[in-house]
């Protein structure tokens, strides 16, 4: 039997510590595996503490504290299944105000409080969806095309000193954050403010515009730079279209030189590297490049499945893997590079990568759809079918609304489904918006996913494995 203490140890700390604020007027809990359920606000950007204690966040904390995760993005969490959810901690180098704030958050977590007096210990600002590159594996193309929102407002954020000062880390991202004037203005204002001197500024970037903010960064004691880079030289420029490998190298070396000259002991640099057909051959060379510069971490990642990346996906497509016939030797060479630098963590990661690729036998195209879903929705395929639409946001309005009007007399519409519980039992286009748990009873012949690419895989898995519904999903 699970005791109260056991349940508490399985309670994730993230809803009590990390706040994400996005340009598209959404906020959610900071978690890399959190599903597509978020708070939505209308009008001006909210104050950070108000967003942190919004009714949506209060409901989330109440559900997480009780262990009842239905209707939250925590349902089915892999870390919860592995019993490895984030727990309260004491930072090694926090200021007294930061340590006290985190201790207060831990007390709220332990009590299961929904309304917090503590501020977020980590703040994540997604300033924009815009980017200066067009990467072949990008999962944000739909967002750029269909979601037209202004960037986050730097001035509004910088006025909230009392909240930011308590944060251990403030991370800015995009899109490409350094293409946003608002993000650059935020970095400049952040660096000038002495109250933020001991808060880490974390930048997730492709690194090509880093030279525009280097002089500003010299004012900060704590900087965390996370560069997304895949491949080397021509291979890098092939997958990161519009990129320039020599410029990226120059920017990285300039950052590291400045770190050395200014003796910035708490400046860090890491890489996110997507392993796919065109970047796997360069992996040993890239690891040599990174480890020779004493990089803090190299995170080897798989592709986010989109409609355009199947030919690159060596994890799911054996044809893509077969296009790199020497892949085992390549991984072996990468292991040797890591061994020469005594980097045991990367050796373990590479060993796991080799084991996974050895299991790629059959094409797994279940998470991929055809390039144009409308082609699957022709009269002969849908006539008389019981159809359910999953998603009611901007992608639906731009991509499916007109189609539904044109075909409303051809199918039996069951309405909509949305993971956002604030929409349940309301109406869209005159049809009811259902909760996901109602899908089983609705017995659809077909579910149309009217959502952007990066969420399709998550929702397909939710339909098949969490809801146990096996029907046509487009």
Strands 427-428 vs 431-434: parallel, antiparallel or unpaired: antiparallel
Of the candidates 141, 314, 292, 133, the one whose C-alpha atom is nearest the C-alpha of residue 228 is 133
Determine the pLDDT at residue 237: 96
Determine the pLDDT at residue 138: 81
Is the pLDDT at 366 greater than 50, yes or no? no
Is the pLDDT at 4 greater than 50, yes or no? no
Q: Rounded distance, CA 469 to CA 472, Å?
A: 9
**pLDDT band per the 50, 70, 90 thresholds, residue 260:** very high
Please state which of the ranges 35-49, 87-101, 206-220, 423-437 shows the lowest mean pLDDT.
35-49
Q: Which residues contact 465 (CB under 8 A, 6 or more apart)?
A: 76
Of the candidates 131, 135, 216, 219, the one whose C-alpha atom is nearest the C-alpha of residue 173 is 131
Question: Are residues 129 and 26 in contact, defined by beta-carbon separation less than 8 angstroms?
Answer: no
**pLDDT band per the 50, 70, 90 thresholds, residue 368:** very low
pLDDT (tens digit, 9 = 90+) per residue, 412-441?
888 899 888 778 888 888 889 999 989 999
Please give the average per-residue pLDDT across 102-108, as a whole number.
97
Please state which of the ranges 102-106, 144-148, 175-179, 269-273 shows the lowest mean pLDDT.
144-148
pLDDT (tens digit, 9 = 90+) per residue, 227-254?
999 999 999 999 999 999 999 999 999 9
- Tell if the pTM clears 0.75, that is, is over it: yes
Locus of tokens 């950070």 = 48
Residue 65: is it exposed, middle or buried by C-beta count within 10 angstroms (0-12/13-18/19+)?
buried
* Sheet bearing 223-228, strands edge to edge: 39-40, 26-29, 18-22, 122-126, 169-173, 200-205, 223-228, 267-274, 297-301
Distance in angstroms between the alpha carbons of the first and the last residue of the chain: 42
Question: Are residues 282 and 328 in contact, defined by beta-carbon separation less than 8 angstroms?
Answer: no
CA distances to 33, 199, 266 from 101, in Å: 25, 13, 22
Bridge partner list, 125: 21, 172
Question: Are residues 58 and 114 in contact, defined by beta-carbon separation less than 8 angstroms?
Answer: yes
DSSP-derived secondary structure for 409-452: TTSEEEEEE-S-GGGTT-EETTEEEE-GGGHHHH--SEEEE-S-
Question: Are residues 140 and 177 in contact, defined by beta-carbon separation less than 8 angstroms?
Answer: no
pLDDT (tens digit, 9 = 90+) per residue, 165-210?
999 999 999 999 999 999 999 999 999 999 998 999 999 999 999 9
């Amino acid at each position: 039997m699970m005791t109260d203490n056991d349940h508490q140890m399985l309670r994730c700390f993230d809803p009590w510590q990390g706040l994400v604020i996005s340009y598209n007027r959404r906020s959610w809990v900071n978690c890399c595996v959190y599903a597509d359920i978020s708070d939505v606000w209308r009008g001006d950007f909210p104050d950070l503490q108000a967003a942190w204690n919004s009714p949506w966040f209060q409901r989330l904390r109440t559900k997480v504290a009780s262990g009842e995760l239905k209707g939250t993005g925590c349902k089915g969490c892999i870390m919860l299944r592995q019993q490895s959810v984030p727990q309260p901690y004491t930072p090694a180098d926090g200021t007294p105000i930061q340590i006290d704030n985190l201790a207060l958050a831990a007390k709220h977590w332990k009590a299961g409080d929904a309304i917090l007096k503590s501020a977020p210990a980590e703040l994540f600002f997604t300033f924009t969806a815009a980017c200066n590159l067009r990467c072949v594996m990008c999962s944000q193309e739909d967002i750029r095309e269909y979601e037209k929102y202004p960037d986050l407002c730097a001035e509004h954020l910088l006025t909230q000193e009392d909240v930011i000062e308590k944060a251990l880390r403030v991370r800015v991202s995009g899109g490409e954050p350094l293409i946003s004037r608002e993000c650059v203005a935020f970095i400049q204002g952040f660096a000038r403010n002495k109250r933020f001197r001991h808060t880490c500024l974390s930048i997730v970037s492709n690194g090509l515009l880093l030279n525009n903010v280097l002089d500003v960064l010299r004012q900060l004691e704590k900087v965390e730079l996370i560069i997304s880079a895949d491949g080397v030289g021509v291979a890098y420029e092939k997958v990161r279209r519009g990129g320039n490998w020599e410029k990226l190298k120059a920017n990285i070396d300039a950052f590291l030189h400045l770190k050395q000259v200014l003796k910035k002991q708490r400046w860090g640099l890491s890489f996110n590297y997507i392993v796919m057909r065109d970047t796997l051959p360069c992996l040993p060379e890239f690891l040599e490049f990174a480890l020779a510069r004493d990089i803090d971490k190299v995170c080897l990642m798989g592709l986010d499945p989109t409609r355009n990346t199947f030919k690159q996906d060596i994890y799911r497509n054996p044809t893509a893997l077969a296009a790199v016939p020497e892949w085992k030797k390549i991984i072996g060479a990468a292991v040797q590079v890591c061994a020469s630098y005594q980097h045991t963590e990367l050796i373990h990661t590479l060993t796991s990568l080799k084991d996974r690729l050895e299991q790629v036998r059959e094409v797994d195209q279940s998470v991929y759809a055809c390039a144009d879903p409308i082609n699957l929705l022709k009269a002969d395929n849908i006539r008389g079918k019981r159809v359910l639409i999953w998603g009611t946001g901007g992608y639906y309005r731009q991509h499916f609304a007109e189609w539904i009007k044109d075909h409303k007399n051809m199918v039996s519409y069951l309405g909509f489904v949305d993971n956002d519980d604030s929409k349940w039992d309301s109406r869209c286009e005159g049809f009811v918006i259902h909760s996901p748990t109602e899908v089983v009873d609705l017995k659809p012949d077909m579910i149309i996913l009217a959502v952007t690419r990066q969420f399709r895989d998550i929702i397909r898995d939710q339909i098949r494995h969490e809801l146990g519904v096996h029907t046509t999903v487009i």
